[in-house]
């Protein structure tokens, strides 16, 4: 066979393979959709799955920062979750967390500690 004949045969086989792969993909997607419908909860089968409000995450109130890095005042921590790196380093160096507490003059001291 000549090079042109081999190339045309290669393109023909490539096209056939592409068609078969697309057909198999469509068949698998159909089967997956059937399986997905079978596993859906009764609420989703009743038409609630299209309701975007049901899947929204609850909004939590904004938490104000309680601690501030004196070396970089833009770095703050609300006191929730994992300790920030700057606070971990400072506590390892012997400082206490309360030294970084933000003191607001507008809020009474009793309310700040709560």
**What secondary structure, in 3-state letters, does the chain show?**
CCHHHHHHHHHHHHHHHHHHHHHHHHHHHHHHHHHHHHHCCHHHHCCHHHCHHHHCCCCCCCCCCCEECCCCCCCEECCCCCCCHHHHHHHHCCCCHHHHECCCCCCCHHHHHC
Q: What is the pTM of this model?
A: 0.43
Q: Which range, 51-55, 56-60, 77-81, is most confident?
A: 77-81
Q: Is the pLDDT of residue 53 over 50?
A: yes
Q: Is the pLDDT of residue 25 over 90?
A: yes
Q: What's the confidence (pLDDT) of residue 36?
A: 85
- Where in the chain are the domains? 3-55, 67-113
Q: What's the confidence (pLDDT) of residue 44?
A: 56
């Amino acid at each position: 066979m000549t090079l042109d004949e081999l190339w045309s045969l290669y393109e023909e086989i490539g096209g056939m393979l592409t068609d078969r792969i697309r057909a198999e993909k469509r068949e698998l997607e159909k089967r997956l959709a059937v399986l997905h419908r079978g596993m859906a909860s009764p609420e989703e089968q009743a038409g609630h799955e299209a309701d975007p409000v049901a899947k929204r995450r609850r909004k939590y109130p904004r938490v104000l920062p309680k601690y501030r890095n004196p070396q970089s005042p833009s770095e703050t921590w609300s006191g929730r979750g994992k300790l920030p790196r700057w606070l971990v380093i400072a506590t390892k160096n012997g400082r206490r967390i309360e030294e970084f507490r933000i003191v607001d003059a507008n809020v009474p001291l009793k309310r700040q500690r709560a």
